[in-house]
Amino acid sequence: MNTTIDLSAAKWRTSSYTNGDGGNCVEIADNLPGIVPVRDTKTAPQGTTLVFPATAWAVFVRTLKR
């Protein structure tokens, strides 16, 4: 099943781990209810965006912080 999600209202922010010369850029948009889109702007700025349920993203972030 292929579902298209409208990301036109996404407010993208760069990972705090992105280095100063623009390498290793991961961006997320955490302003959309119920979902967290993630994209790689270094290798595919207009490419595929992964979209996670907000609850799954919260678990992922909590796990990383441990």
Q: What's the pLDDT score for residue 15?
A: 75
Rounded CA-CA distance 14/40 in Å is 10
pLDDT level of residue 48 (50, 70, 90 thresholds): confident
pLDDT level of residue 41 (50, 70, 90 thresholds): confident
Mean pLDDT of 46-51: 84
Q: Supply the Cα-derived Rg of the chain in whole angstroms.
A: 12
- Tokens at residue 29, please? 């948009």
pLDDT level of residue 44 (50, 70, 90 thresholds): low
> pTM of this prediction?
0.78
pLDDT level of residue 10 (50, 70, 90 thresholds): very high
